[in-house]
A = this chain, B = another copy of it.
């Protein structure tokens, strides 16, 4: 699977969260495409964008949440790139079956996005326009990855975000325990352990083995628990 991460951020170098996530991008299978860097004059090369979209299976929009939506340049990208004849309409349908997901950063606490909260609406409600884009173009809409108040995150929360981000980019669209186990074992096995201390490499190897060995037990437990309900 090839993933295209389309980032829109007017000042990406100054953004702590964006820099953190850029460092977390897996080395293989992911193309990062920052619109403001690619098109400093604001003129989008539509043909090049179409090629990028066609050669990837998962499309991600990554951006700061400005006024309950993306920055204006990502909206311009949608209006110019997702045209009739390509993304929808009779001769369109070129995005059908691809996956489409959002990753966005919010300055307000998660609890405010609900009825009775200061922002009044849920994230699912506020992102309906993006979900409608996926629906219109025949793409499979992924659960968004929302990053609330990155500046206040502690190290553990950041590490958690790091893993979630990598999964959103490269894991199959399946949040079951089995799928997440597969992904984790695969990541560990892919690690280049040459540069690690021998001890650390051993621990990692052991962790992957444990996960694989205990898998049957965990899966059986899951079956028993399912039957209890």
Residues of A within 8 A of B (CB): 42, 66-73, 75-76, 78-79, 82, 119-121, 125-126, 128-129, 131-133, 135-136
- How many angstroms from the CA of A82 to the CA of B132 in the assembled complex? 26
Given contacts A42-B42, A119-B136, A120-B135, contact A128 B75 (CB under 8 A): no
Q: How would you classify the secondary structure of chain A's contact residues: helix, strand, loop or mixed?
A: helix
State the 9 A-B residue pairs at the shortest beta-carbon distance, nearest first: A68-B129, A72-B76, A72-B75, A72-B72, A68-B132, A67-B78, A125-B128, A75-B75, A66-B79
Report how far A128 CA is from B113 CA in the complex, Å: 12
Partner of A128, one of B71, B73, B128, B136: B128
Give Cα distance in the complex from A129 to B66, angstroms. Answer: 10
Question: Which residues of B are found within 8 Å of A136, using beta-carbon distances?
Answer: 119
- Least Cβ–Cβ distance between A82 and chain B, in angstroms: 7
**Could you name 16 residue pairs across A and B whose Cβ atoms are closer than 8 Å?**
A42-B42, A66-B75, A66-B78, A67-B78, A67-B79, A67-B129, A68-B128, A68-B133, A71-B75, A71-B79, A72-B79, A119-B132, A120-B135, A121-B132, A125-B125, A126-B129
Residues of B within 8 A of A71 (CB): 75, 79
A176 → B minimal CB distance (Å): 26
Q: Residues of B contacting A73 with CB < 8 Å? A: 72
Cα A129 to Cα B70 in complex, Å, equals: 11
Contacts of A82 in B (CB 8 A): 67
Q: Which residues of B contact A135 (CB under 8 A)?
A: 119-120
* Closest chain B residue to A135, Cβ basis: B120
How far, in angstroms, from A56 to B80 measured CA to CA in the complex? 33
> Closest residue of chain B to A134, judged by CB?
B120
